[in-house]
Structure 1
Amino acid sequence: MSWTDIETWIGENSPALYAVLLPSSSAVDIADAEESIGYALPAELVGWWRQFGGIGETYARWALVPPMWQPHGLDNALRLRTMMMQAISGIAFRTLGEEKDYEATALREPAGTPCVDIWLPAWLPVAADGSGHELFVDLRDGDLHGCVMEWDKYSGADRDPLWPNVTAMLDDALRALRGETGHRLVFERNDFRWE
């Protein structure tokens, strides 16, 4: 998995970031998370979180996934999932019944299907930009189960998936960190950003 190589890159190029990497999640943590959200996590996501526990810093400092995404560990993902479901609920519908009907219909759609009016319980955040935009894994059934999509704070999840899974996302991030893509990493003191 690319995370091992990304962590090696971090250790060699950003000691400040390496110092704030959090401990990884245990098998018990993963099982508890699956039970609490009611969805099994894709194997590649489990494998990643068994190596990566998150970053104990603010979003803006460590955008490891270009162009602006700081990855979440399991604990932060669960916290943000709950926060997003609560924050979006009650905005687009006149009644809770209408919202629940819409949610039930959207949950029957295959993974990767856009949804703009609510945050679905089958969505689990994996990265954020720090200003209300999230990358999430879609845990609904279908050929794209485990795909990574973007939640835009203005338009919801109105686009097709960005990556078929977190492994593809991390592979792209590693290539960018190695300078193999059009993204350019700029270091500023102990921080970095993408241009």
Structure 2
Amino acid sequence: MAGADRAAVAAAATGRIDVWLQEHAPRARAALRPPASERDLAVAQEAVGRPLPPDLRAWWLYADGARFGPHVGDSGWLIPPGFVPYSIAEALKIRRLWMDVAREIGPLEQLEAFVDAENNRPAGTACHTWLPAWMPVATNHGGGNLFVDLRGGPQYGCVMEFYRDAGALAEPAWNDVAAMLYDIADRLTENEAQLDQAGLLYWQ
């Protein structure tokens, strides 16, 4: 899908998501932060050193993540099966954390060569170590993250899962952020989401 198309699909999907949240889950909608600024997006792009896909930009221009309350899941689990969106600031903080963890795995020279090689493989390729070209976008508050793979290749911009103990070893969860948002919008309108007694969103 071309960049403009991805941005358009993402924007349309966030519109559908927003309508559903306002009508059915206003507390979950209220947990979303205001839109990110162009300055925020520029900082993110500078940090990762690669262009941000237009659908990721559209997502963060809709909402700069969700507010994290004092308890796990206070903002609801907007992204199935149970992920809370990161703000850009949180995403960059977590990215630095995982990169620091990667540096502690083995001898620095060997690690740098390994990371450099893996970072130049095509997007969507599995790796057990966090890579600089990965931009986190959501957390399950249990050692799991969703990230957008900004390496090159046909799957540039795909959304993958990364887990503390296993790395990113599975196939992409979605082809891109636009597909993720479209999927969420469809699932919401098909009543696949549930609301708890506090009005927060979760998935069976």
| TM-score, length basis structure 2 | 0.87
CA distance in 1, matches of 2:14, 2:200: 19
Structure 1 residue 184, shift from structure 2 partner: 4.4
For the pair 1:190 / 2:186, whether they are aligned, the reply is no
1:90–1:99 Cα contact (<8 Å) kept: no
2:126–2:170 Cα contact (<8 Å) kept: yes
For the pair 1:67 / 2:81, whether they are aligned, the reply is yes
Gaps of 5+ in 1: none
Structure 1 residue 87, shift from structure 2 partner: 2.6
CA distance in 1, matches of 2:26, 2:196: 12
2:31–2:66 Cα contact (<8 Å) kept: yes
Structure 1 residue 172, shift from structure 2 partner: 0.9
The 5-angstrom pairing of residues 1-195 of structure 1 reads 1=11, 2-58=13-69, 59-61=72-74, 62-91=76-105, 93=106, 95-116=107-128, 118-179=129-190, 183-195=192-204
CA distance in 1, matches of 2:33, 2:61: 11
Q: Which amino acid aligns with 1:114?
A: A
Deviations 1:150-175 (A, max 9, x none): 00222100111111100101111111
Counterpart in the other structure of 2:8 = none
Deviations 1:125-173 (A, max 9, x none): 1111110100100001111110000002221001111111001011111
> 3-state DSSP class of the match of 1:177?
helix
Gaps of 5+ in 2: 1-10
2:35–2:60 Cα contact (<8 Å) kept: yes
| TM-score, length basis structure 1 | 0.91
2:149–2:160 Cα contact (<8 Å) kept: yes
Structure 1 residue 98, shift from structure 2 partner: 0.8
2:28–2:201 Cα contact (<8 Å) kept: no
1:177–1:185 Cα contact (<8 Å) kept: no
Structure 1 residue 18, shift from structure 2 partner: 2.3
> 3-state DSSP class of the match of 2:94?
helix
Q: CA RMSD in A?
A: 1.6
Deviations 1:59-115 (A, max 9, x none): 524111111111223222112111221133312x2x111110110110110011000
Q: Percent identity?
A: 35
CA distance in 1, matches of 2:47, 2:80: 31
Q: Which amino acid aligns with 2:112?
A: K
Spell out structure 1 runs of 4+ moving beyond 4 A: none
CA distance in 2, matches of 1:46, 1:70: 17
Stretch deviating more after TM superposition (151-160 or 15-24): 15-24
Count matched residues.
190
Q: Which amino acid aligns with 2:162?
A: W
